Amino acid sequence: MKSQVIKLTNISKLYTLHHEKPTLMERIVDGKDEDFYALKNINLSIAQGERIGLIGENGSGKTTLLKIITRITSPTQGSIVTKGRIVSLIDLNAGFHPDLTGIQNIFINGMVLGMRKKEILSKLERIIDFADISKFIDIPIYTYSEGMKLRLGFSVAIHTDPDIIILDEGLSVGDFEFQTKCQRYFNDYFKSGKTLIVCLHVLDFIKNNCDRVLIMKDGSIIADGPISLIDKYETHKI
């Protein structure tokens, strides 16, 4: 039996929505703040090597769930236990400094993701080659296109040798050749028995690469099972 690498117990995430009022006094007296549960009592276990597809309508809670797993945000209640290095591909260029060069940003992002300077140096050429931006690596990031920044962010992240990858629309970066390169990387990643959680609107990727699907609605997981559940989802039977 494979060991659990992620376990969520009774996870909920509550936000308070502040509805605007004409004046502060009216808000104090008549304030109609509204509680909104982005997640409601989520219980989830993921074993090492599982490849999870996370689907559901916009606003169903998918991104909130991923942010809690990656500890970008904290749950209002419940507990989370994770094992191994988790790398999030949710916002690939969030940590870049626009005035620094590509190579400087590789070192900053790599260290933020847990790599030591020596490790980054040993992987530097591979990171640059995978991102395919060698001609621009010594110029400031603000001169890069969005696609170039996303490719660089993706390349840095995957070279941290993660045990768990959280992917949110990450395969939409770059052209067809780069996407093909990403698919080859994931094929090798799967063979190593590591874990993937992917949230994509491109359901073909989930069908071809995942072995389990979670379907979310209104902050809850309403279905959890084999990839064949996607067919029911697409025909509105779930």
Q: Per-residue pLDDT tens for 104-144?
A: 999 999 998 889 999 999 999 999 999 999 999 999 999 99
pLDDT tens track for 184-237: 998 999 899 999 999 987 788 899 899 999 999 999 999 999 999 999 998 887
Domain with 225, as residue range(s), is 4-234
Q: From start to end of 72-211, where are the E strands?
A: 77-82, 86-89, 164-168, 195-199
For residue 140, the 8-state DSSP code is B
- CATH number of domain containing 73: 3.40.50.300
Where in 31-151 does DSSP place strands (E)? 34-47, 51-56, 77-82, 86-89
Number of domains in the chain: 1
Question: Which pTM does this prediction carry?
Answer: 0.83
> Concatenated DSSP letters for 89-112?
ESSTTTT--TTSBHHHHHHHHHHH
pLDDT at 34 over 90: no
Say if residue 92's pLDDT is above 80: no
With residues binned 3-state (H G I as helix, E B as strand, rest as coil), the percentages for the chain, rounded to 5, are 40, 30, 35
Strand partners, 35: 16
Q: What is the pLDDT of residue 183?
A: 85
From the list 165, 103, 167, the residue with the least C-alpha distance to 138 is 103
Q: What is the pLDDT of residues 141-156, one digit of tens each?
A: 999 998 899 889 989 9
Output the pLDDT for position 1: 67
